[in-house]
Every structure is written in C-alpha cells, then in structure tokens.
Structure 1
Amino acid sequence: MNLEKVVFAFVILLAATLNFGFVYGGIDNPAHHHLWELFAATTVNLIAVVLKFGDRTHIGAVQQAASLVALLQLFAAALVWFFMAPKDGGPPDVDALSSIVSLAAGALLANGVSVVILIADTTIQRR
C-alpha cells in the first residue's frame, strides 16, 4: 500500500465531504451553514492543492485543475461572507448567504470531479 496515495485520497474525500456538509441544508437558513465548516472545507482544499504539486501526469494536471477551481470557489465564498456579514458577528443575510452557498456548491462540483478522477485513476492502475 502506498501511504502517499492513501493520504491524498483521504484529503480529496475529506475536502468533498466537508464541502458537502457546508452546502447541505436550506440555502436561506444561516443555521444550516456554519462559518467554521466553510473554513475547514477551504483549508482541506488548500491541502489537496499542495499535495498535488509536482505530479507530472495528465491525470494529475486535471486533478490539480479541479482542486484549484474548488479552492477558488471557496475563497470567493469566504470573501463574500467576510464582506457581506454584519459587523456585529451575526450570520449573513439571505442574499449574501445564497451567494455563499452557491459558490460553495460550485466548489462541491469541482470536488466531485476530483473524486471521479481519483476513482478512475485508481481503477486503471496496474499492480
């Protein structure tokens, strides 16, 4: 068993599940979307991007591109949260929250592509 591949697969799957956990719920209900979950999803996606540096294969390049797209979407969601949240520290209003969740949903799609590529790459590997 290759420990590097196990760690990478773990991080890719964790990024997708954290992102799903943030997106899941009513798009207009702040109780369903927590700031720390968005932070965790962004951090794990950043780790996934860093882990993929140095891979010179074509599948690795597509995997890296999908990870970068997810990271960009999550950074955009975090920026919207930062600039649109009330200054008293409360949750963002419905309009801002729907934008945040929509951006995170785009990142979830990119994470889904990463998972599909990971599964495809795993199935074509020879021993």
Structure 2
Amino acid sequence: MNLERVVFGFFIILTLSLNYAFVAGGAEMAAQPNVWILTLTIIVNLVAIGLKLGDRSQTGALLLAAGLVAGLLLITARIVWIVAEPVGGGGPGPGDMANIVSIATGALVANVVATVILVGDTLLSRR
C-alpha cells in the first residue's frame, strides 16, 4: 500500500465531505451554515493542494487543477462572508448567505470531479 496515496486520498475525500457538510446547511435553513466548517474546508483543501504539488503526471495535473478551482471558490466564499457580515456580528443576511452557499456548491462540484478522477485513476492503476 502506498502511504502517499492513502494520505492524499484521505485529504481529497475529507475536503469533499467537509464541503458537502457546509453546503448541506444550505441557505434555506433557519440556522446559518457554520463558518468554521467553511474555514476548515479551506485549510484541508490547501493541504490537499500542497500534497499534489510536484506531481508531474497528467492525473496529478488534473487533480491539482480541480483542487485549485475548489480552493479559489472556497476562499471567495469566505471573503464574501467576511465582507457581508455586519459590524455587530450575527452573520450575513439571507441573500448573502445564498451567494456564499452557491459559491461553495461550485467548489463542491470541483471536489466531486477530483474524487472521481482519483477513484478512476485508482481503478485503472495496476498493482
């Protein structure tokens, strides 16, 4: 078993799971999605990107590209959250939260693509 692949797979799947956990909170729910889940998703995604740097394979390039797209969208969602949050706290309003969740959903798509690529590469690889 290749420990490097295990660790990278762990971070890819963890990023996907955390991203889904944030998006599942949704803009329609009375309670807002948790900002800490979004922040943790960004951190885990950045670790996954760091693990893929230096991989010169075509699959590695696609995984890096998907990770960069997801990272850019997640960071954008967090910036929108920071800008939209009122001075007194309380979190962004419903319209802003809908924008944040929409951006995070785009990152979720990129994470699904990365996971599909990873699973496909694993299935095609020889022992």
Gaps of 5+ in 1: none
Contact conserved, 1:76 with 1:103, CA < 8 A, in 2?
A: yes
Secondary structure, aligned partner of 2:25: coil
Give the aligned residue type for 2:73.
Q
Structure 2: distance between partners of 1:87 and 1:81: 12
Contact conserved, 2:26 with 2:101, CA < 8 A, in 1?
A: no
Gaps of 5+ in 2: none
Shift in alpha-carbon separation, 1:103–1:65, aligned structure 2, 3 A: same
CA-to-partner distance for each residue in 1:27-76, whole Å, 9 max, x for gaps?
A: 23362410000001111011111010000000110110000000000000
Secondary structure, aligned partner of 1:27: coil
Q: How far off is 1:26 after superposition?
A: 3.5
TM-score normalised by structure 2 residue count: 0.96
Structure 1: distance between partners of 2:54 and 2:88: 43
Moved more, 26-35 or 80-89: 26-35
CA-to-partner distance for each residue in 1:70-110, whole Å, 9 max, x for gaps?
A: 00000000000000011112111001100000000000000
Secondary structure, aligned partner of 2:114: helix
Shift in alpha-carbon separation, 1:99–1:70, aligned structure 2, 3 A: same
Contact conserved, 1:30 with 1:91, CA < 8 A, in 2?
A: no
Contact conserved, 2:18 with 2:37, CA < 8 A, in 1?
A: yes
Residue in 2 that maps onto 1:34: 34
Residue in 1 that maps onto 2:69: 69
Residue in 1 that maps onto 2:124: 124
TM-score normalised by structure 1 residue count: 0.96
How many residue pairs get aligned? The number is 127
Give the aligned residue type for 1:125.
S
